[in-house]
Chain A
Amino acid sequence: MAEIQSYTMNFGPQHPAAHGVLRLVLEMEGEVIQKADPHIGLLHRATEKLAESKPFNQSIGYMDRLDYVSMMANEHGYVLAIEKLLGVEVPIRAQYIRVMFDEITRILNHLMWLGAHGLDIGAMTMFLYCFREREDLMDCYEAVSGTRMHATYYRPGGVYRDLPESMPKYQESKFRSKKEVDRLNEAREGSLLDFIEAFTDKFPACVDEYETLLTDNRIWKQRTVNIAVVSPERAMQLGFSGPMIRGSGIAWDLRKKQPYEVYDQMDFDIPIGVNGDCYDRYLVRVEELRQSNRIIKQCIEWLRANPGPVIADDHKLVPPSRVEMKDDMESLIHHFKLFTEGYSVPVGEAYAAVEHPKGEFGVYIVSDGANKPYRVKIRAPGFAHLSAMSEMVEGHMLADVVAVIGTQDIVFGEVDR
């Protein structure tokens, strides 16, 4: 029999299953992986250093571009850290809006993950199904911020503007018939809240569809059950958070344990796994889709009943309205100072973390009292997860690497920053 020699294999950085620009150097013993050495940084943009060179508010847009499939959750972490330093109170309505959009973002992220993870290990249909629902949520982003992805919607002190009373509509074109446009616009006749409500009504059935395709699917189970098992002890050692730590059976969720905004008012459950393998993490994330839907429903109900301001009434921090500005000298000064210089933040340091769809997304800001942060450190959940790659794939087959990349829900925007 021929002797099998160990050899080194290069995976990526241009590989469709690498979810971006991941280069893996794999030490193989035949088909079996001995060691994996991820090379990251191909998407490094020095976001933290750029943020240190700009006034606080100008970096909110950079946060969207970190984890570019869960944009508002990134903004939330950054904005929370600034608010913690400033000690500002966020109006209650803004808190509900933030919670609602955090959960919309969670669904957006998990749908992207489910589709891509499915595609990677052989369930092509998932990708199409997931993107069908993502489209509606992107429209929510567009309605509220004007952009489908990089929203820059959260601001220190609240959110940029209140929820709109009308939804953008599709228009007839040579690519879209009147009939189709009418079908697409059916849910868009009312306000944004009506649109989101219609979505939450139909979404549980969509999740059932995904589960029909995957949960009891023999191939899906063969590819995920008992792959990359992580014990609870190791999960903590490796700094896991979010679905990765919950998949290993630890009921740790910042929304419950260290609630921010109005999460303590919300009624939802935390799903946890048993075995800590890829299949359990899949189940956890799918259940999170349902729980997020529940939270969104509760927010809609509250937001309908309680109008009010959505951003703090502090013009040292928040620009005055255009009307005020043209009428009132002091408002004009505030406006000018805010947009030329920004606001100064008291001396100190703060770490604020949110339960990002991928795990704990934290922002650590050191301020020396200037209008720019002295140091911004972004704690990206994916960074800690990816560092456990070698441990997770050891002893598995080459094809399982793809399953592990999928289960970690890696997005390079946040890993490389």
Chain B
Amino acid sequence: MSERYETLAARIEERFDEQVERVDSICGELTYEVNKSALRDVAMALRDEATFGFEVLIDVCGVDYLSYGSDEWTTDSATGTGFSRGVSRREVILDEADTFDPRRFAVVYHLLSVNNNTRLRLRCFTGEDNPPIVPSLVDVWSAADWFEREAFDLYGILFDGHPDLRRILTDYGFIGHPFRKDFPLYGNVEVSYDTDKGRVAYQPVSIEPRTLVPRVIRDDNRYSEDLKDTGNG
């Protein structure tokens, strides 16, 4: 990581102390985890104080960590039943519980300082609340408006203080939050023209979900830090 970023990191840690926690990066980016309660103060300070000067909010996005680190591939038993051999499709988990794993939903903010030419990433976990909720940053950066609406639409994350939190990308009258990991890729409903009713009607989806390429996790030691500097590894 460049010296400029180390200086910035030192300043952030000095200014915010326990409100933020640094996350290691494998590619030289600066990421901080911010406490939900401190998010607004940190954002305000990052925008207004000249040492940081993050005038531009590049992006806000939701992340659902429900199935992080789990794969769909079992190789300890083999069957001869054809294509789907070895694929263990995960059961869909419904979020009917009153509370979530506190590290399930996160909102990730990408900031840019035009004057200092630096970037910064903030991550704020939503905690146990169902529905998940974080404070809105619309009055800090106007650009947050639509990005927060998008995160609400796709992940169901509420933004406390947002002036107009409506769905933005999905259809009028859509049910559910499609980018959550427990929302099936093929969706829940499909539309077709119903000749009896004389209109387009919704019905439960008829497609069987398939896994074309199973998700596998491989520990590739070519990327381990110990081997990287030795040249031919």
Contact = CB atoms under 8 A, between A and B. Distances in A.
A187 interface: no
B169 A40 contact: yes
Given A346-B223, A350-B29, A387-B146, A41 B215 contact: no
Contact of B58 (A49, A346, A362, A387): A362
A344 B217 contact: yes
Given A49-B179, A346-B223, A384-B146, A366 B63 contact: yes
Interface in A55-110: 55, 58, 84-87
How many chain B residues sit at the interface, stated as a range, is 35 or more
B126 interface: no
B185 A53 contact: yes
Contacts of B217: 344, 368-371
B141 interface: yes
Contacts of A257: 117
Given A46-B179, A350-B29, A351-B110, A236 B55 contact: yes
Contacts of B171: 41
Interface in A183-212: none
B interface SS class? loop
Interface stretch (A166-174, A284-292, A374-382): A374-382
A280 to B, nearest CB: 18
A87 B27 contact: yes
B110 A362 contact: yes
A371 B213 CA distance: 9
B143 A238 contact: yes
A50 interface: yes
A237 B142 contact: yes
A372 B215 contact: yes
Contacts of A255: none
Contact of A348 (B25, B179, B220): B25
Contacts of A348: 25-27
Given A351-B110, A364-B61, A239 B179 contact: no
B63 A387 contact: no
A258 interface: yes
B108 A364 contact: yes
Interface in A315-370: 316, 340-342, 344, 346-351, 353, 360, 362, 364, 366, 368-370
Interface of A: 40-41, 44, 46, 48-50, 53-55, 58, 84-87, 234, 236-239, 241, 250, 252, 257-258, 316, 340-342, 344, 346-351, 353, 360, 362, 364, 366, 368-372, 374-375, 377, 379, 383-384, 386-388, 416-417
Given A351-B29, A360-B58, 11 more contacts: A234-B142, A239-B142, A250-B114, A340-B213, A341-B213, A349-B29, A364-B108, A366-B63, A370-B216, A371-B216, A387-B146
6 contacts: A87-B27, A237-B55, A237-B141, A239-B143, A348-B25, A366-B63
